[in-house]
C-alpha cells in the first residue's frame, strides 16, 4: 500500500458513497486473516494501517509476564525483554512487536482489492434494497425477460423481479419482451441480494392504479376506503369525499368513463364496481351490492350481520355468478350479508 493507492481508495469511497474508515477497518481485519493464512501464524496479530501514507505494519501482540509465569512464547514476553524494548512496560501490559514480512505489500494489495470489491457489492445491494423497500406496496413497470415453470421474471431496471404463478390472474397470458405493470408485494434481502416479489392479483394493484389515474385521489380530495378483488374477474372499490360538493364516484369514472376504462384495460377488462362509502352500515352495504337494486337492509350490530332484501328480478344479480357479487360486498364492508327477494 502507498499514498497513491490510499488516494484511489478515498476517491472510490466518495464516488460510491462508502465510508472510508469502515473500509480501512475491514481491510485491517482481512489483513490479519491474510497474514495468519500465508505465514502459518497462531500468534495474536494486529495490523495497523497508516491513514496518511498508506503504510501497513503487522504486529504480534504478547503479554508481559514474570519469569515464573512464562509458559507460551507465542503469546507471552518476559518482563526483562519487554523492558529492553521500552522501560514503560509492566507485568500485564501488551507489547506490540513488529513482524511485517518483506513481501507483505503484495498480499496487502491483493487483499485490499478483495475487500473493496466485497464492500462495493454489499453497498450496492444495500442501496438497491433501500431503494426497492420504498417501492414496496407500490407499482413498478418492467419488461418480461424470461418465463420459467410458469414464473414470470421482469426486468425492472437494476434487477430482475419475479411474478410467481400464484400471483398471476387466470385470464392473463404473458410473453417475453412484453411490458408489464405490477404491484410490489415483498422486498427481501437475502444471500443472493435483493429479491423483489411482484403481484398482478393483489388488491393494492387496483388501489395504486386509481391513485395514478385519478388526480383527486392523488391529491387526497377523494379517499379510497376499501378494495375487495377477485383478480381477473371483478373488483369493488369504496370511495369517499369529505367535501359533499365532490362526487367521488364520478371522479373515479372520469370524463366519458376514461379513467376507469384505462384501469380496466390495464387489468385486462376486469369488471370494476365503484361504490360510495358511507359511515352508515346499511347504506354502505346497499351500495356495495351494486349493480343490483336494494329494497331494504336490516343490520344486527352485535352479530355484524345484515339481512338484505332485493326485488325478485334482482336476486341473481345481487348474489352474482357463483355468489361472487355478495362475496365481494361482504369483504368490502366487513359484514356478513344474507340476501332474500321480495
DSSP code of residue 127: H
CB 182 within 8 A of CB 198: yes
pLDDT at 133: 85
Which superfamily does CATH assign the domain made up of 135-199 to?
Nucleic acid-binding proteins (2.40.50.140)
CB 216 within 8 A of CB 246: yes
In tens, the pLDDT along 58-69 reads: 888 899 999 888
Task: Please state the pTM of the whole predicted model.
Answer: 0.70
The Cα–Cα gap between 299 and 280 comes to 10
CB 49 within 8 A of CB 32: no
In tens, the pLDDT along 243-270 reads: 999 999 999 999 999 999 999 999 999 9
Q: To the nearest whole number, what is the mean pLDDT of the chain?
A: 90
pLDDT at 123: 73
pLDDT at 281: 96
* Whole-number Cα distances in Å, 108 to 6, 100, 273: 12, 11, 67
Terminus-to-terminus CA distance in the chain, angstroms? 90
pLDDT at 16 over 90: no
Residue with cell 486473516: 33
Could you give the residue range(s) of every CATH 3.30.1480.10 domain in the chain?
A: 3-130
Q: List the single range of 191-205, 208-222, 310-324 with lowest mean pLDDT.
A: 191-205
Region 74-101: mean pLDDT is 89
pLDDT at 44 over 80: yes
Neighbour tally for 52: CB within 10 Å: 8
In tens, the pLDDT along 130-173 reads: 888 888 999 999 999 999 999 999 999 888 999 999 999 999 99
Residue with cell 512487536: 97
Rg (CA), the chain: 34
Query: Which strands form 336-341's sheet, in the order they lie side by side?
Result: 296-300, 305-310, 336-341
Could you give the residue range(s) of every CATH 3.30.300.20 domain in the chain?
A: 202-276, 278-342
pLDDT at 271 over 60: yes
Percent of the chain with pLDDT over 70: 98
CB 324 within 8 A of CB 234: yes
pLDDT at 117 over 80: no
Which superfamily does CATH assign the domain made up of 3-130 to?
NusA, N-terminal domain (3.30.1480.10)
Query: Residue 202 contacts by C-beta under 8 Å, 6 or more apart in sequence?
Result: 167, 183, 185, 229, 231
Three-class SS of residue 20? Answer: helix
**H or E stretch at 78:** strand 76-78
240 CB-side CA count, 13 A: 12
The CATH number fitting domain 202-276, selected from 3.40.50.300, 3.30.300.20, 2.60.40.10, 3.20.10.10: 3.30.300.20
Beta strands in 149-278 (DSSP E): 151-155, 160-163, 179-190, 193-199, 222-230, 234-241, 271-276
pLDDT at 330 over 80: yes
**H or E stretch at 308:** strand 305-310
- 272: Cα separation from own chain's centroid: 29
Could you give the residue range(s) of every CATH 2.40.50.140 domain in the chain?
A: 135-199
Closest CA to 329 of 283, 294, 290, 303: 290
Where residue 174 falls among pLDDT bands split at 50, 70, 90? Answer: very high
pLDDT at 55: 81
The Cα–Cα gap between 325 and 331 comes to 10
pLDDT at 42: 67
In tens, the pLDDT along 120-134 reads: 777 777 777 888 888
The Cα–Cα gap between 337 and 325 comes to 11
The Cα–Cα gap between 323 and 129 comes to 42
Where residue 233 falls among pLDDT bands split at 50, 70, 90? Answer: very high
Between 110 and 40, residue with greater pLDDT? 110
Where residue 91 falls among pLDDT bands split at 50, 70, 90? Answer: very high
Backbone angles phi and psi of 170, in degrees to 5: -65, -20
pLDDT at 2: 63
pLDDT at 1 over 60: no
Which superfamily does CATH assign the domain made up of 278-342 to?
K homology (KH) domain (3.30.300.20)
Amino acid at each position: 500500500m502507498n499514498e497513491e493507492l490510499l488516494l484511489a481508495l478515498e476517491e472510490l469511497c466518495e464516488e460510491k458513497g462508502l465510508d472510508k474508515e469502515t473500509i480501512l477497518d475491514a481491510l485491517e481485519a482481512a489483513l490479519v486473516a491474510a497474514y495468519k493464512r500465508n505465514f502459518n501464524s497462531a500468534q495474536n496479530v494486529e495490523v495497523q494501517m497508516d491513514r496518511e501514507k498508506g503504510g501497513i505494519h503487522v504486529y504480534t501482540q504478547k503479554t508481559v509476564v514474570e519469569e515464573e509465569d512464562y509458559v507460551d512464547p507465542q503469546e507471552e514476553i518476559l518482563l526483562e525483554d519487554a523492558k529492553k524494548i521500552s522501560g514503560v512496560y509492566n507485568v500485564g501490559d501488551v507489547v506490540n512487536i513488529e513482524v511485517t514480512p518483506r513481501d507483505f505489500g503484495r498480499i496487502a494489495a491483493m487483499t485490499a482489492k478483495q475487500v473493496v470489491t466485497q464492500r462495493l457489492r454489499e453497498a450496492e445491494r444495500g442501496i438497491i434494497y433501500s431503494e426497492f423497500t420504498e417501492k414496496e406496496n407500490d407499482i413498478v413497470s418492467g419488461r418480461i425477460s424470461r418465463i420459467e415453470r410458469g414464473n414470470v421474471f421482469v426486468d425492472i431496471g437494476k434487477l430482475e423481479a419475479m411474478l410467481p404463478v400464484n400471483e398471476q390472474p387466470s385470464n392473463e397470458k404473458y410473453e417475453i419482451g412484453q411490458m408489464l405493470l405490477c404491484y410490489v408485494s415483498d422486498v427481501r434481502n437475502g444471500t443472493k441480494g435483493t429479491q423483489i416479489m411482484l403481484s398482478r392479483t393483489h388488491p393494492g394493484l387496483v388501489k395504486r392504479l386509481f391513485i395514478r389515474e385519478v388526480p383527486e385521489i392523488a391529491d387526497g380530495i377523494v379517499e379510497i376506503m376499501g378494495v375487495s378483488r377477485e383478480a381477473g374477474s371483478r373488483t369493488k372499490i369504496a370511495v369517499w369525499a369529505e367535501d359533499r360538493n365532490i362526487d367521488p364516484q364520478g371522479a373515479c369514472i372520469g370524463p366519458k368513463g376514461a379513467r376507469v376504462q384505462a384501469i380496466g384495460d390495464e387489468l385486462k377488462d376486469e369488471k370494476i364496481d365503484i361504490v360510495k362509502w358511507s359511515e352508515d352500515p346499511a347504506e354502505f352495504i346497499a351500495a356495495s351490492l351494486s349493480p343490483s337494486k336494494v329494497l331494504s337492509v336490516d343490520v344486527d350490530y352485535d352479530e355484524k350481520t345484515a339481512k338484505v332484501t332485493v326485488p325478485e328480478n334482482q336476486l341473481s344479480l345481487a348474489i352474482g355468478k357463483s355468489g361472487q357479487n355478495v362475496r365481494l360486498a361482504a369483504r368490502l364492508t366487513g359484514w356478513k350479508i344474507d340476501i332474500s327477494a321480495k
